[in-house]
Structure 1
């Protein structure tokens, strides 16, 4: 089943346009989009295949972490993770 998973992390400094563009590039292979320009938060919405909501969030969180590292962003704690299934 396909899931759209939104993940957001929050930290202590405002992120630049360039940083979020790097995140957008890093999540693009997962059908993702990124957000957070000019805020102390960054986030992404990813598309994943998983059998259930918990597995979708776990898979997307791992992919999000990989994308954050690829983009060179500071590692902030995840403050939100929500999944919506294709049948919802």
Structure 2
């Protein structure tokens, strides 16, 4: 995994809202499927990103009275994924 420095300026090829009780990694997989990525052909998520840390980050944000938002930008499976507390976007 290589980290992107910013959110792409172009429109995403997939955008999904994260359900209130959904783990961030589950939302990330839903976004990947919406972007028509063949998940049977790609490496496991755990080989690309610390899935537990991602889920904990979203869970912590939901539990706390966080004043700020977070945005995680990561290159996964030759696409750029942008994870925010409310949504996941996929860019080419």
Is this a same-fold pair by TM over 0.5?
A: no
Taking structure 2 as the reference length, the TM-score comes to 0.30
Greater helix share, 1 or 2? Answer: 1
